[in-house]
Copies of this chain bind each other. A is one copy, B any other.
Amino acid sequence: MKHRKKIVTNVTIKDVARAAGVSIATVSRILNGSAGVSEELAARVAAAVVELGYRPNDVARALKVRESRSIGLIIPDIENPFFPALVRGVEDAARQQGYAVILCNTDGKLEEEERYIRFLFSKQVDGILFTGGVDCDDSLGLLASLPIPVVALDRRAAAELSAVVCDNYQGGILAVEHLFEQGRKRIAFIGGPARSSSAIDRRRGFLDTHSRYGVVVNGRLMITGNYSFDSGYRAAVALMESREPFDAIFAANDMMAIGAIEALTEQGINIPDDVAVVGYDDIRMAGWYKPALTTVRQPVYEMGMAAVAMLLDQISGVRASACEEKFKPELIVRNSSGGREGHDGVSSI
């Protein structure tokens, strides 16, 4: 461990100016790379800076220039395996531009969302990245009322807000087409919360693909879950108890798919021989699970990065109007659907 002087009192731009024998304006100019400063003074100031261990006070700067170089990131729950990659994408992009990201977990609760929105506003964040819960319309209204750029993540653009999403409709199509190609005809659907835009779009993809293939959907094979393991488990139990025959399940996320598989397996039903299962998201566990889960991948990390880029464009005024960036989902075929990829070993990690 290198020895370092303990900094006791915060050293300010004033101290640097005194030490270098210049005015604070000159120090500020040099620090900010403004043009028109002599080599000599620049050197003297630079020396004083390292000598004193000076670091600019960002909150003073923020107060002066009305820009905190920080953004808020509101998500339901970092412990939900869908979010870490998203957060990492956001953080990487933000850091690259010198922005701090303040993380906010709301559990999708409206009151927490609004609490955090106000909190972030007080903190003077330059923008907010928002992934709300199912009933986030009120929050979106509050966001729209604030004079801060906002981009919605993984939620369809509402009102005049920008958004970064993945094409959930297309994802639903991908899943069902794959199942049809495997020769499955009676596909059960375990959906997400009724009002969630992602859930709605995936469901629409499911239904439309059936029409397009001329297959009639059995409504009793459609169940609504809430994206949790438990709801997937319960959905599969309900499916079995209904005694409606089915040879496949498309679950609107991986957690529910895994929950369903657990329930099915406990009853001696073989995956994929008896029932093929396709999930959604391609969370990390999907590749390790037995059977390895066929799923629809969203480029979550990239979406996080894109959202930051869009937000910063808005902050800097490059982009004024609301816009939507839509990513393409990708079908990842593994064992649970009986796809031909076969055993999914270490190579998939």
Contact = CB atoms under 8 A, between A and B. Distances in A.
A118 interface: yes
A288 B63 contact: no
Contacts of A258: 288
Contact of A91 (B78, B85, B346): B78
Interface in A8-51: 8-10
Interface in A53-80: 55-60, 62-63, 68, 70, 77-79
B79 A85 contact: yes
A230 B124 CA distance: 43
A28 to B, nearest CB: 15
A6 B145 contact: yes
Interface string A302-314: 0000000000000
A99 B121 CA distance: 14
A123 B121 CA distance: 17
Nearest to A53: B145
A111 to B, nearest CB: 13
Nearest to A62: B59
A52 interface: no
Size bracket of the A interface: 35 or more
A59 B85 CA distance: 30
Given A59-B59, A102-B100, A88 B79 contact: yes
Nearest to A228: B349
A45 B349 CA distance: 59
A228 to B, nearest CB: 9
A4 interface: yes
Nearest to A83: B84
B84 A346 contact: no
A258 to B, nearest CB: 6
Interface in A240-280: 258-259, 262-263, 266
Q: Nearest 6 A-B pairs (CB), nearest first?
A: A4-B145, A1-B141, A290-B290, A58-B122, A103-B103, A79-B84
22 contacts: A4-B141, A4-B142, A6-B145, A7-B146, A10-B147, A55-B122, A57-B63, A57-B122, A58-B122, A59-B63, A63-B63, A78-B87, A81-B81, A81-B284, A84-B84, A91-B105, A102-B102, A102-B103, A229-B349, A233-B346, A258-B288, A290-B290
